[in-house]
Chains A and B, each alone.
Chain A
Amino acid sequence: MNFLAGSEPEPHFDQLYRELILDHYRLPRNNRVLEPADADLTQFNPVCGDEVRLTARIRDGAIEDIAFVGQGCSISQSSASMMTEAIRGRSLEDASTLASYFRAMILGEDVDEAAMGDLMSLQGTSRYPTRVKCAILAWDTLQKALGGTSGREDVGSSDPDSGG
């Protein structure tokens, strides 16, 4: 058999790994570094080493262009990819609002599905507490980047990956 060949979907699998997530994971959108950029921030999830670097160009209070590079699990990378699509061209205020909606959704709250669009595909993550940080990493980076932070830092300080 071919180890990496396809098979029929599974209910468990499909709740978390929606087809749209896998699609963004395999073919990440806006997957590059913008140079020059008005905002440039890299953040890590120290638990698993997920990494997202965001670069953005800001014009007249709006996100003219945004791109990401990074490495990590399907949730963290697809989330970053979808985020760049969702916020390009939006005002900083809109982007910030969407970020708070996204955070609310991942923490299990009801949100306006129409406003979320494709981002709804990540809602399943809310049932997996260990994956919440994966989904939020890109949005966290965005909020910090637009808040003026730049450089590299870790998201959160706790590290459950102990016990070696």
Chain B
Amino acid sequence: MPDQSQQLNVEAIRGDFPILSRVINGNPLVYLDSTATSQKPKQVIDTLADFYRTSNANVHRGIYTLSEESTAAYEGARDKTTEFINASSSSEIIFTRNTTESLNLLAFAWGRANLNEGDEVLVTLMEHHSNIVPWHMICAERGAILRFIPVTDDGLLDLTDIETLITERTKVVSFTHVSNVLGTVNPVRELVDRAHAVGAIAIVDGAQGAPHVAVDMREMDADFYVFSSHKMLGPTGVGVLYGKRALLDEMPPFLGGGEMIMEVREDGFTWKDPPWKFEAGTPNFADVVAFGAAIDYLTELGMDKIRQHEIEITDYALRQMRSLGEGVTLHGPPNAEDRGGVVSFAIETIHPHDIAQTLDWEGVQIRAGHHCAQPLMRRLNVPATARASFYVYNTNEDVDRLIDALKKAGELFGRQ
């Protein structure tokens, strides 16, 4: 029976994550890098192990019991994904390896068929490299132009000149739902509508969206929405590409091979309907089945409660970081309500790598680097940032441990 209270029972949740009992450098683990990848509950780990123990066989192949079970479990996970994001049909859910592969599929399959000399692809300055590099590649191939929506000092998209950026020449508007560096939650529906108004397609990078906020494809109206299992309690090696069925029908296949074909002849081939049209070769069915268990787990917790929990812990973290005083710079929107559970920061006189190194000795695992967002780093005028990120299993005590470790780093580097 679902929990009727308004708050996550984080203590019970933590009991589901075996890794949280680890000791790192003599201290209990404080895991603050869920933006890079989330930890996995035993329900997901057990589903994966049980699948290999009891039901493993290739999907969509044999007329025998194990293969039928395996196929049912794989397609069952597709149905769960469909429901989780409120897509119109399971034929709109394609499984890939990760968000990056989903974006590459779009750039190459859609882009090659639709982009021409002088066309424009619009992304933003806060994109992950995975939503920049494939567009650079296809734009170079097709003679199209890649443009960027700028970012304000507060880490929001700067839409001041949006009407000169989204024009009749724009064919694709591809942007992140939630920034992996700043945490900024972008105005998705507004950008989708602006793209549609000029006849462009709208692609939303949901790698930091789907794990943290409730998403509804019919309400969002994006043409494509992409995300990864491993950032939402599921296994690595599973990405999702949601696409509107009409666009998936029009788009040519990307990878060719087994599973995706209807008929192969000496003079050509025909392909299956979506989603299988885009799933060449043996899919990563075992991990997809375990991804289904991750969706069940998140659904049981409730995405609205997860969002509320992240706002609360991020608000607490922002306030505690500010209380450290001068010398600490926080990047991104000042209010927790405007951001996901991500806090990027800088400490005067301590490089992010040195921060991450000293925190590691306290068992606190944070990320330091450019976070695969070099254009944004240049905009912020920093070589790198330190980043702490939160998920369902993090507590205010984790934030306290972070703050204590930062104080210690400040003292050690500050001594003369």
Contact = CB atoms under 8 A, between A and B. Distances in A.
Interface of A: 1-7, 9-10, 12-13, 16-17, 22, 26, 47-51, 71-75, 128, 131, 134, 161-164
Contacts of A75: 353-354
Contacts of B180: 164
10 nearest A-B pairs in the assembled complex, by CB-CB distance: A6-B415, A7-B411, A49-B383, A4-B414, A73-B351, A73-B353, A163-B36, A161-B369, A164-B180, A164-B372
Interface in B374-416: 374, 377, 383-384, 407-408, 410-416
Interface of B: 25, 35-37, 128-130, 180, 207-208, 324-328, 348-349, 351-354, 357-358, 361, 368-374, 377, 383-384, 407-408, 410-416
Nearest to A161: B369
A42 to B, nearest CB: 13
A164 B128 contact: yes
A163 B324 contact: no
B352 to A, nearest CB: 8
A48 B368 contact: yes
B353 A134 contact: yes
Contacts of A17: 354, 412-413
A128 B357 contact: yes
Nearest to B348: A4
B130 A164 contact: yes
A9 B361 CA distance: 14
Max chain A CB contacts within 10 Å: which of B349, B353, B370, B411? B353
A10 B230 CA distance: 36
21 contacts: A3-B324, A3-B325, A3-B410, A5-B410, A6-B411, A6-B415, A7-B408, A7-B414, A9-B412, A17-B412, A47-B369, A48-B369, A48-B384, A49-B374, A51-B383, A72-B351, A74-B351, A74-B413, A164-B36, A164-B371, A164-B373
B309 to A, nearest CB: 22
Contacts of B328: 3
A134 B370 CA distance: 15
A13 B405 CA distance: 12
Given A6-B415, A74-B413, 19 more contacts: A1-B407, A3-B326, A5-B410, A6-B411, A10-B361, A10-B412, A12-B25, A17-B412, A17-B413, A48-B352, A49-B370, A49-B374, A49-B383, A73-B353, A161-B372, A162-B372, A164-B130, A164-B208, A164-B373
A151 B244 CA distance: 47
Given A49-B383, A72-B383, A164-B371, A4 B36 contact: no
Nearest to A11: B361
Main secondary structure of the interface of A (DSSP, over half): loop
Nearest to A12: B361
B354 A4 contact: no
A10 B138 CA distance: 52
B235 to A, nearest CB: 14
A4 B327 contact: yes
A141 B329 CA distance: 31
B329 to A, nearest CB: 13
B370 A48 contact: yes
Nearest to A44: B383
B349 A4 contact: yes
Nearest to B98: A163
A48 B371 CA distance: 9
Nearest to B205: A164
Contact of B407 (A3, A51, A128): A3
Nearest to A51: B383
B412 A13 contact: yes
Contacts of A164: 35-36, 128-130, 180, 207-208, 371-373
A107 B129 CA distance: 31
Contacts of A5: 410-411, 414-415
B390 to A, nearest CB: 16
A131 B25 CA distance: 17
Nearest to B416: A6
A128 B415 CA distance: 23
A9 B326 CA distance: 23
Contact of A13 (B36, B348, B361, B370): B361
B357 A16 contact: yes
B244 to A, nearest CB: 26
A26 B351 CA distance: 12
A90 to B, nearest CB: 29
A114 B399 CA distance: 45
Given A10-B412, A13-B412, A73 B372 contact: no
B37 A163 contact: yes
A5 to B, nearest CB: 5
A48 B383 contact: yes
Contacts of B371: 161, 164
A154 B376 CA distance: 19
Contacts of A47: 369
B127 to A, nearest CB: 10
Nearest to B411: A7
Nearest to B378: A49
